[in-house]
Structure 1
Amino acid sequence: MRLTDTLPQTIATERLLLRAPRMSDAEALVTEANNWKVLEPTASLPFPYLPEHAEGFITRAAHKPGQRSYVIAGSGDDRLKGVIGFYFFEDRPVELGYWLGESHWGQGLAPEAVTGLVEAAEALGITPIRARVLAGNAASVRVLQKTGFVVIEETLSVVERHRGRPLLLMERRR
């Protein structure tokens, strides 16, 4: 059994529901993701973010063995607010990735989603959990620090969009 298969299908937090992406999320996905402030700090999301990108992401989400993606949705309205997930590798620890639509920033939703997902993973023995973040992305660094991540390495990004910019490798410590 793959580690991705051991994770729960849904994870409920106080205000959020983390669940699998579905085609009905495509419009909200484009609305929330098609914003340079949201996409610029990510490693791979295209800009502009178009309907075909959303549909491709949703279709691939169920079939990527090395990846597990969840929609960050409101627990009351089930509307997409962002995406969170893990990347699994053969030769290094699992990595966390996430983004949240700009209209949802500053409400404590990102730390809540991160905590929900990493605690579910840790309960299954999935450790350590790491995350890469641009050193200049102060808000995301704070989210990770609030949720128990510490800097374990300072390096430079090799991702084309951020090539040469300072990058932090962080790991969850309890």
Structure 2
Amino acid sequence: MSSRTHLPETIDTQRLVLRAPRVSDIDDLVAEANNWKVLEPTASLPFPYEEGHGRAFVAKTARTSHHPYVIADRQTDRLKGVIGLYFFDDRPTGLGYWLGESHWGQGFAPEAVDGLLAAARSIGLAPIRARVLAHNPGSIRVLEKTGFAVIEETTSVVERHRGKPLLVLEWRG
């Protein structure tokens, strides 16, 4: 049984619920993700982000190498972004997330990351690594606030960012 199967179905924080993506999230998913400012720093989300991409994302949530959660508002259950863990055979678990631009600067990203890390800690899942472009100070602050520390400075090999400075951060639980 993998660590992925030990993660909770939902994670509650003060203002958020992290839960599985649903078909009912697709409109909000497309509206929030189809923004170059949101997608540019990600490694793989397509631009423009269209309904077909959202439908494919919701349909693929059962895959074993990725455990995504929708970052939803606790009161309205409306999607604000996505967070998840990536599981690898040959390296530590990876963290990825994005938040819709209208939700930036309100503390939702660190709250979601903290919630997911608490769940990871409860099942003994550590270390967890995150990769962030060096020109993304907002994401660097989120990761540092939540206990990640820079362990490597390198350059990106992802096509969208090839050759750009990249930081690898690690959380050790």
- Structure 2: gaps (5+ residues): none
Equivalent in the alignment of 2:13: 13
Equivalent in the alignment of 2:70: 71
Once the two structures are TM-superposed, the CA of residue 129 in structure 1 deviates from its matched residue by 0.7
Q: Contact (CA 8 Å) 2:3, 2:123: kept in 1 or not?
A: no
Give TM-score scaled by structure 1 length.
0.98
Equivalent in the alignment of 2:111: 112
1:61 partner SS: coil
Letter in 2 for 1:36: W
Distance between the aligned counterparts of 1:112 and 1:78, measured in 2? 16
Q: Contact (CA 8 Å) 1:150, 1:173: kept in 2 or not?
A: no
2:56 partner SS: helix
Distance between the aligned counterparts of 1:73 and 1:137, measured in 2? 23
What is the total number of aligned residue pairs between the two structures? Answer: 173
Letter in 1 for 2:135: G
Does residue 1:102 correspond to 2:101, yes or no? yes
What do residues 113-165 of structure 1 show as CA deviations (whole Å, max 9, x unaligned)?
00000111111000001100001100000000000000000000000000000
The percentage of aligned residue pairs carrying the same residue is 66
Give TM-score scaled by structure 2 length.
0.99
Q: Contact (CA 8 Å) 2:126, 2:172: kept in 1 or not?
A: no
- Structure 1: gaps (5+ residues): none
Letter in 1 for 2:8: P
What do residues 54-108 of structure 1 show as CA deviations (whole Å, max 9, x unaligned)?
000000012x111100000000000000000000000100000000000000000
- Please report the RMSD computed on the Cα atoms of aligned residues, expressed in angstroms: 0.7
Does residue 1:126 correspond to 2:120, yes or no? no
Greater than 6 Å deviation, 4+ residue runs: none
Letter in 2 for 1:123: S
Equivalent in the alignment of 1:88: 87
Equivalent in the alignment of 2:166: 167
Once the two structures are TM-superposed, the CA of residue 173 in structure 1 deviates from its matched residue by 4.0
Does residue 1:56 correspond to 2:68, yes or no? no
Letter in 2 for 1:154: E
Equivalent in the alignment of 1:26: 26
Distance between the aligned counterparts of 1:148 and 1:131, measured in 2? 11
Letter in 1 for 2:163: G
Distance between the aligned counterparts of 2:36 and 2:65, measured in 1? 27
Letter in 2 for 1:150: A
